[in-house]
């Protein structure tokens, strides 16, 4: 899985449309191999981003959990700690 795509479910505050779209864009970039599509592929590329963002948003809205929402700050601190352990200072 692309490391730039972060889990978006069960956070407080809830996800935003921009976060969902950013994850969809990263996914399409990963599977297409394009960082930026050519003019010939632009419509297909951004159409796929829109479709994946829509499907992702519907999925995230339909999921249920009994777990308490995660804190964005705590998750970011954990990620920094993991990176520090992995890559050093």
Q: How many domains does the chain have?
A: 1
State the pLDDT at residue 3. 65
Residue 6 lies in a domain: no
Residue 58 lies in a domain: yes
Q: Low-confidence residues of the chain, pLDDT below 70?
A: 1-4, 89
Residue 45 lies in a domain: yes
State the pLDDT at residue 7. 86
**Is residue 43 helix, strand or coil?**
helix
**Domain around 71:** 12-87
17 vs 73: CA distance, rounded Å: 19
Residue 64 lies in a domain: yes
Contact at 8 Å (CB) between 45 and 32? Answer: yes
Give the global pTM.
0.81
State the pLDDT at residue 2. 57
pLDDT tens digits for range 54-68 = 999 999 999 999 999
Residue 4 lies in a domain: no
Residue 7 lies in a domain: no
Residue 1 lies in a domain: no
């Amino acid at each position: 899985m692309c490391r730039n795509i972060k889990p978006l479910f069960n956070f407080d505050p809830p996800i935003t449309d921009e976060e969902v779209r950013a994850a969809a864009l990263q996914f399409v970039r990963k599977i297409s191999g394009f960082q930026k599509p050519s003019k010939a592929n632009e419509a297909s590329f951004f159409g796929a981003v829109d479709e994946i963002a829509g499907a992702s948003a519907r999925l995230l809205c339909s999921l249920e959990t009994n777990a308490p929402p995660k804190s964005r700050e705590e998750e970011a601190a954990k990620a920094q700690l993991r990176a520090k352990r992995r890559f050093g200072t």
